Structure 1
Amino acid sequence: MPVGNVYVIAAVAIIGGGLFGFDISSMSAILGTTQYKCYFNQGPPTTDPSKCTGPRAAVQGGITASMAGGSWLAALCSGFISDIFGRKKAIMIGAVIWVIGSIIVSASQNIGMLIVGRIINGFCVGICSAQVPVYISELAPPSKRGRLVGAQQWAITWGILIMFYISYGCSFISGPAAFRVPWALQMIPAILLFFGMMFLPESPRWLARKDRWEDCHAVLTLVHGKGDPNSPFVAKELRDIKDMCEFERKNADATFFELFKPNMINRTHIGVFTQIWSQLTGMNVMMYYITYVFAMAGLSGNGLLVSSSIQYVINVVMTIPALLYVDRWGRRPTLLIGALCMMTWMFANGGLLKSYGHYAGPQGVNNTPEASWSISGKPSKAVIACSYLFVASYAPTWGPVSWIYPPELYPLRVRGKAVALSTSANWAFNFALGYFVPPAFVNIKWETYILFGVFLFAMFVHVYFAFPETAGKTLEEVESMFTDPLGPKYIGTLPWKTHIVTQKALLLEHGEIDEEKARRFGHEEEAERSGSEKGVAQHV
C-alpha cells in the first residue's frame, strides 16, 4: 500500500535535491585541503605538501562545472524519461545513476576520471532536480504546494551542511582517503531515495495522461481524500484533470516545439529565466568557492573551514521561514525582496574589497591563485558578514521559489518537458559559472562581485515586469490564467497586478464551495484587491 501523507511523500522525494547539496559541499570543503591539492597537483613538483597548488584555475573550474554539464544534458532528457516511465520511476533511475557516479568519483586515479564520475553524478542531479518538483507539485494540494516543493531547496541545504562536516572531519585523515571517503559516502542518500520511492504513489496527473483513470482516482483518494473516494476535493481534482486532459488531446501534442509557440513562449521564457537568474544571483559560487572568498579575508586552516560552514548553517535555518510562509508571501514579493537584498550585499563586498583590499600577487593568499585579493582588519570582517547576509537573503527567497515557480506555470501535457527545459537552463549557467569563477577571481578580482550585483539588479527589474503571481491557485487555474479569455478579467493582464488567492484555494481544498461559487469568489476576491470590482461585476 503506497504512502498517502503528502509530507512523507515530499520528505522522501526531496532526497533527490539533497544529492545536489552533497555535491556542492563535498567539492567546496575538499578543494582547499592539502590532500586534494597534492593528489591532483598541476603546479611545480614538490615534496613539501604546503606548496602543492592543486589543479590550475581553469582545470578546477572544469572539475567543478563537469557535474553541472552532465546535469544540463540529463535535465533536457528527463522530460522524455518522466513522460514515458512516470515521475516516480524517473527519480529512481536518477538514484541508480548517482550510485554509479559516486563509485567512479571516489575511486578517481586522475583528473580525467574525476571529471567523468562527476558528469555521471550530474546525470542524476539533472533528472532529479527537474522531476522532483514536478512530482511533488502534481501531488500537493494548492495551499501546501509552495511549502512542499520548496522543501527540495531545504534538502539541498541539509545536503550541503551534512556533507561539509563529513568532509571537514575526513580532512584530518592522511592521504587520498581524506576525499575518497566523503565522496563514497554520497551513495547512502541515493540508496535511501531508491528504496523509499518504492513506497510512494505515482503522480495522479501522469496516470491520467496514460488513461489510467482508476489508478488516478485511487491516488487522489489516498493523498487528498483520506480514504474517501467521494470527497468533494477529490471529485473536483479528478474533474479538473479530466477536463484538462480532454482539452489537451484536442488541441496540442506534447513536444518541445510547443514550448516555443506564441501561446506558450511567454511561460517558457519565465520558467527558463527563473532558473537562469537563480544561478546569476551568485549563490552557488558562494557555495562552491567560499573558501577562496574567506581566504581573501585572511582566514586559513581550520578557521577557514569552520567559518565557511557557518554559512551552510545559515542556509539551512533561513530556508525554514520560506517553507512556512511562502504560500502566504507569494512568489513575486519573495523574488523581488530577495534580489534587492542580495544586490546590496554583493555591491557592498565589491566596494569593501576595492576600497580596503589589495592585489595578493600571482600566488594569491595561502598559495591559492584564486584568492587573488587580500583584505584585513575590520573590513575583512565586514566582507565575511556581508557574505553571511547574502546567504541569509537567498535562503528564504530565490532558493526555494526557483524550484516552486516553474512547475506551476505549465499545462499537464508539457509540464515534464517544460520543467526539464527550465532546469537545463539552471545547469547550463551552473556549468558556465562553475567554470568561469576561478579564472574570474584570478583575472578580474573584486570586480566579480560587481558583475553579480548588476545581474541582481537586472533580475529585480525582470521579475517586476514579467513574472505573474501563482500562489494559492490550482495548477488548472494557473493554466486558465494564461489561456482562458475570462482569466485577465479577474486575475490581471499585467504581472504586477496579479495577486495571491489563498483563501479560495483553502475553500476548494476542503470542499466548502462548489466550482461555480469558486469562480464567483475568485472574481470578487481579485476585484477587491485590484480595485476593479466594477469591471468584474459587469463581466459576471
Structure 2
Amino acid sequence: MKYSARIASNPYIVGSFACIGGGLFGLDISSMSGVLANQYYLRQFNHPASGPQGAITASMPAGSFIGALAVTYLGDRLGRKPTIILAGLIWVIGSILQCASVNRGMLVVGRIVSGLSVGLSSAIVPIYQSEITHPSIRGRIVSLQQWSITWGILIQYFIQFGCSYIEGVASFRIPWGLQMIPAIVLSYGMMYFPESPRWLYDHGREEEALQVLADLHGRGDIKDETVQFEFHEIKEQVEYERSQGAKSYFDLLKDGNPRRVFLGMSLQMWSQLSGMNVMMYYIVYVFQGAGLTGTRGNLIASSVQYVLNVAMTIPAIIYIDKWGRRPMLLAGTLLMGFWLFLVGGLQGSFGNWGVVDGNSIWVVSGHDSITKGIIVSSYLFVCSFAVTMGPVSWTYPAELFPLKVRSKAVSIATATNWLFNFCLAYAVPPGLSTIAWKTYFIFGTFNFAAFIHILFMFPETVGRSLEEVEEIFQQGHVFTAWRIGRDVGKKTVEEVVGHKSDKRSDSLEEEKVSA
C-alpha cells in the first residue's frame, strides 16, 4: 500500500505513530506487575514462588533478545517500515497465547512470542525515527519511544487495576487480550507512512527517497534547501559506504565502529542496571517490603509511580535537544544512585524478616514515617530516570552509527538491553527474598559506575545530522569525551552541496582529460 504524502508531511505524526511499537513494551511490563497480587492469577498458575515467577517474567525479555538480534538482518533486508508492521503482527499472536494460557508453559511461550515483537520494535523504531527526522528535533522524536513505553505501562496498569474487581480468571485474561489492539493499529497504520529515505536511497530508490524527504521536511518541494541539504548528505554517505564494499558483520569491527558499538551496548546495559525496570516489574514486592499492606493500597501506590513516569518524561521530550545527551545522563545516574542508596539504607536500618502473603520477606513494620519515606524515594527515583536516562537510552544509540552498519549495530545494542533485562527479571525476586535491602545498594553502585563511564567516554551528539556524527568519532578523544564541543562536525548547506558540486566538476575535468 502506497503511503499517504498528506500524512507524511508532518514528521511529528510519522515519528510518534511508530512509537506505538514502544508502547507494546510498556504494556508487557504492566501485564505482569499488575497480576502479582491477583489471587486468580496465583491460583491458575499454582502460586509461583520467587524463582518460577522470575522465570515467567524473564521469558518476555528472553524473546526480546532474539527479536532485537533479528533486526540485524530484517532491518536491512525488509526495510524499516515492513519490520515494524511484522512486529505488530507477532505481538497479536503472543497476546492470544497469553490470554488463552492455562498453565505456566503456555504462558511462557506466549510471553516469548510477545517478546520477539518487542525486541523487533524496540530496535527498529528508533532507527526509523532517527532516519526520518531533522537533527534539530531528532532527540525529541526518538525520546517519544520512551514516553510511549510509560503510557503503555500506565494504561495497562489501570486496566489491570479495574479488572482486579472482576471475579475469576477474566480479571487477568481481559487485560492480556486487550493489549493486542494497539498492535493491530500499528501494523495497519504503518502502511500509510513512508519508508526511511536513507534505506530507500541505499536500495536504489533515489527518486522515492528525495520525495519522502520533500514530504517530511519541504512541504513536498524537492528543491527546498533543507531537502537538498539532507539528500546530498545521504547521497555522499551512501556512495562512500558503497565504495568500501559489501555490507557484513565484520564492518562492526572496522573504521572506529567497535568504539561506537561498545558505547551503544554499554548505555543500554546501564539503563537496565539502573534498576528502573526492576522497579516497574516488581513494584508490588518493593512496596510490600516498605511495609505497605493491603492489595488495593499497594496497587494504588504503584499507580502513582506509573503516573509520575509518564508526566516526568515530558520535560525530557521538550528539552532533550537543548540540554544535550551527556548532561542528562550524568545528572540521572547520580540522582538514581542516591535514591536507591536511601531506600536501601532505610530498609536496612528499620526492617526485619517477616511473612507477607505467605512469603518470607524483609519488611519495614511499625514505622509509618519510614514506609512513607521509602515510597517517596521510590517515586523520586522513577522521576529521575524518566527525565534523564529513559529517553536518552533510546535516542543516543540510534545516533551513533553510519548507515552501513546502523541496523546491525542498533539491534546489537538493543539486544544488550534485553539480555540484561532477562537476567535481572529472573534474578531480582530471589535477590529480594535473600539479600533484601542490599539489592538496592547493588543497583545504586551500578548507577555511580555508569556516571564515571559516561563522564569519560560518551561524546555529545545533540544537533548533528547522522552523517555529521562521523566527525565526532574522528577526533580521537576516547577517554576525554568532554573535550568534544557541540560545534564539532557541524556543516552548512553550502559546504555539503558545494562539496558535491566540486566533486562533480572534478569528475567532468577528469573525463575531459581522458578524452
TM-score (norm 2): 0.93
Q: Which amino acid in structure 2 is aligned with residue 346 of structure 1? A: L
Q: Give the equivalent residue in structure 1 for 2:318.
A: 324
Q: Give the equivalent residue in structure 1 for 2:33.
A: 28
- Do the aligned partners of residues 114 and 492 (structure 1) sit closer, same or farther apart at CA in structure 2, a change above 3 Å counting? closer
Is the counterpart of residue 193 in structure 1 residue 173 in structure 2?
A: no
Q: Give the equivalent residue in structure 1 for 2:332.
A: 338
Q: Give the equivalent residue in structure 2 for 1:529.
A: none
1:166 shift after superposition: 0.2
Select the residue among 429, 432, 435 that pairs with 2:426. 435
- Do the aligned partners of residues 516 and 139 (structure 1) sit closer, same or farther apart at CA in structure 2, a change above 3 Å counting? closer
Is the counterpart of residue 374 in structure 1 residue 368 in structure 2?
A: no
Q: Which amino acid in structure 1 is aligned with residue 363 of structure 2? A: W
1:298 shift after superposition: 2.1
Q: Which amino acid in structure 1 is aligned with residue 325 of structure 2? A: R
Q: Give the equivalent residue in structure 2 for 1:159.
A: 152
Select the residue among 407, 427, 434 that pairs with 1:416. 407
Residues 221 and 234, structure 1, Cα contact 8 Å, conserved in 2? yes
Residues 351 and 362, structure 2, Cα contact 8 Å, conserved in 1? no
| Secondary structure in 1 matching 2:272 | helix
Residues 218 and 227, structure 2, Cα contact 8 Å, conserved in 1? yes
Is the counterpart of residue 229 in structure 1 residue 209 in structure 2?
A: no
Moved more, 99-108 or 30-39: 30-39
1:329 shift after superposition: 0.5
Q: Report the Cα distance in structure 1 between the residues aligned to 2:309 and 2:60, rounded to whole angstroms.
A: 22
Q: Report the Cα distance in structure 1 between the residues aligned to 2:479 and 2:245, rounded to whole angstroms.
A: 24
Matches within 5 A, 1:359-398: 359-360=353-354, 364-369=355-360, 371-375=361-365, 376-398=367-389
Residues 456 and 479, structure 2, Cα contact 8 Å, conserved in 1? no
1:515 shift after superposition: 2.0
How big is each residue's C-alpha offset from its partner over 1:206-247, in whole Å with a ceiling of 9 and x where there is no partner? 001101101111101110111111011111111111111111
1:480 shift after superposition: 2.5
1:35 shift after superposition: 1.2
- Do the aligned partners of residues 252 and 410 (structure 1) sit closer, same or farther apart at CA in structure 2, a change above 3 Å counting? farther
Matches within 5 A, 1:84-95: 84-95=77-88
Q: Report the Cα distance in structure 1 between the residues aligned to 2:285 and 2:372, rounded to whole angstroms.
A: 15
How big is each residue's C-alpha offset from its partner over 1:290-344, in whole Å with a ceiling of 9 and x where there is no partner? 0001111222221100000000000000000000000010000100000000000
Which runs of structure 1 show a deviation greater than 4 angstroms over 4 or more consecutive aligned residues?
501-505, 516-519
Alignment: residue pair count: 492
Q: Give the equivalent residue in structure 2 for 1:10.
A: 15
Is the counterpart of residue 515 in structure 1 residue 509 in structure 2?
A: no
1:253 shift after superposition: 3.3
| Secondary structure in 2 matching 1:198 | helix
- Do the aligned partners of residues 144 and 503 (structure 1) sit closer, same or farther apart at CA in structure 2, a change above 3 Å counting? farther
How big is each residue's C-alpha offset from its partner over 1:156-195, in whole Å with a ceiling of 9 and x where there is no partner? 0000000000000011111111110000000000011011
Residues 504 and 518, structure 1, Cα contact 8 Å, conserved in 2? no
Q: Give the equivalent residue in structure 2 for 1:279.
A: 272
Q: Give the equivalent residue in structure 1 for 2:140.
A: 147
Select the residue among 288, 294, 302 that pairs with 1:308. 302
Residues 321 and 462, structure 2, Cα contact 8 Å, conserved in 1? yes
1:518 shift after superposition: 11
1:8 shift after superposition: 0.6
Q: Report the Cα distance in structure 1 between the residues aligned to 2:478 and 2:271, rounded to whole angstroms.
A: 26
Moved more, 373-382 or 163-172: 373-382
Q: Report the Cα distance in structure 1 between the residues aligned to 2:49 and 2:94, rounded to whole angstroms.
A: 23
Select the residue among 495, 501, 522 that pairs with 2:481. 495
Is the counterpart of residue 104 in structure 1 residue 109 in structure 2?
A: no
- Do the aligned partners of residues 518 and 350 (structure 1) sit closer, same or farther apart at CA in structure 2, a change above 3 Å counting? farther
Is the counterpart of residue 183 in structure 1 residue 188 in structure 2?
A: no
Q: Report the Cα distance in structure 2 between the residues aligned to 1:421 and 1:75, rounded to whole angstroms.
A: 7
1:259 shift after superposition: 1.4
Q: Report the Cα distance in structure 2 between the residues aligned to 1:270 and 1:252, rounded to whole angstroms.
A: 25
Q: Which amino acid in structure 2 is aligned with residue 333 of structure 1? A: P
Q: Report the Cα distance in structure 2 between the residues aligned to 1:334 and 1:252, rounded to whole angstroms.
A: 38
Q: Report the Cα distance in structure 2 between the residues aligned to 1:480 and 1:498, rounded to whole angstroms.
A: 10
Residues 80 and 128, structure 2, Cα contact 8 Å, conserved in 1? yes
Q: Report the Cα distance in structure 2 between the residues aligned to 1:309 and 1:253, rounded to whole angstroms.
A: 50
Q: Report the Cα distance in structure 2 between the residues aligned to 1:478 and 1:503, rounded to whole angstroms.
A: 6
- Do the aligned partners of residues 293 and 492 (structure 1) sit closer, same or farther apart at CA in structure 2, a change above 3 Å counting? closer
1:517 shift after superposition: 11
How big is each residue's C-alpha offset from its partner over 1:430-465, in whole Å with a ceiling of 9 and x where there is no partner? 000000000000111110000001101110000001
| Secondary structure in 2 matching 1:372 | strand
Q: Give the equivalent residue in structure 1 for 2:244.
A: 251
Q: Give the equivalent residue in structure 1 for 2:391.
A: 400
Q: Which amino acid in structure 2 is aligned with residue 496 of structure 1? A: W
Structure 2 gaps of 5+ residues are 500-515
Q: Give the equivalent residue in structure 1 for 2:469.
A: 478
| Secondary structure in 2 matching 1:172 | coil
Q: Report the Cα distance in structure 2 between the residues aligned to 1:395 and 1:416, rounded to whole angstroms.
A: 26
